[in-house]
Amino acid sequence: MTTQEILLMKCRFYSKEIWGKEYKGTLTFIENDPCLGYFGIFANWKKTIEIDVRVLKHKYMVDTVILHELCHWWCYINKLGWDDEDKDFLKECKKVGDKIVYTEYKRFVPTKKVRQIVNKFERSLRCQEVSWTQAVFVPDV
């Protein structure tokens, strides 16, 4: 399995866990200017979540970014305010443990809720006997 496939599985798993509806979009990688300070984009016009390759090195950070982008996705498909500052969006962020509006890269700390959902995903993979450990943090871009 490629990193991209696993991250897409995460998108589907997390969206189902949190909202009971599966994410049907795609996932791609981007390489941003580090000075920009954002690590993902929900590109509604392309129906994709774009993940900055830098976050792949950090366990939990990639998950936090995915969850943040899924909050954008959820608000967007439900015609709620889906911008970073919108109340609706911030409300959805709280469901996944708040503070998933970004902090600085070097000082990143995952929330308890993010750790829980990641562990749940990893358990579900073990049940399916999917080998994922090598793939997860090696970007194949």
Q: Would you say 46 and 72 are in contact if contact means Cβ atoms under 8 Å apart?
A: no
In whole angstroms, the minimum distance from the beta carbon of 130 to Zn ion comes to 29
Angle formed by the axes of helices 61-77 and 87-95, to 10°?
A: 130
In whole angstroms, the minimum distance from the beta carbon of 84 to Zn ion comes to 4
Determine the 3-state secondary structure of 96 from DSSP: coil
**Size of site (CB under 5 A) for Zn ion:** 1
What's phi and psi for 40, nearest 5 deg?
A: -160, 160
Q: Which residue is nearest to Zn ion (CB)?
A: 84
In whole angstroms, the minimum distance from the beta carbon of 96 to Zn ion comes to 13
In whole angstroms, the minimum distance from the beta carbon of 27 to Zn ion comes to 15
Q: How far apart are CA 113 and CA 132, in angstroms?
A: 21
Q: How many residues does the chain have?
A: 141
Q: Identify which of residues 54 and 130 has a Cβ nearer to Zn ion in the complex.
A: 54
Q: Identify which of residues 63 and 125 has a Cβ nearer to Zn ion in the complex.
A: 63
Q: Which ranges of 20-77 would DSSP assign to H, the alpha helix?
A: 61-77
Residue span 69-108 as binding mask against Zn ion, x where in contact by CB under 5 A, dash where not: ---------------x------------------------
Residues at the interface with Zn ion (CB under 5 A): 84
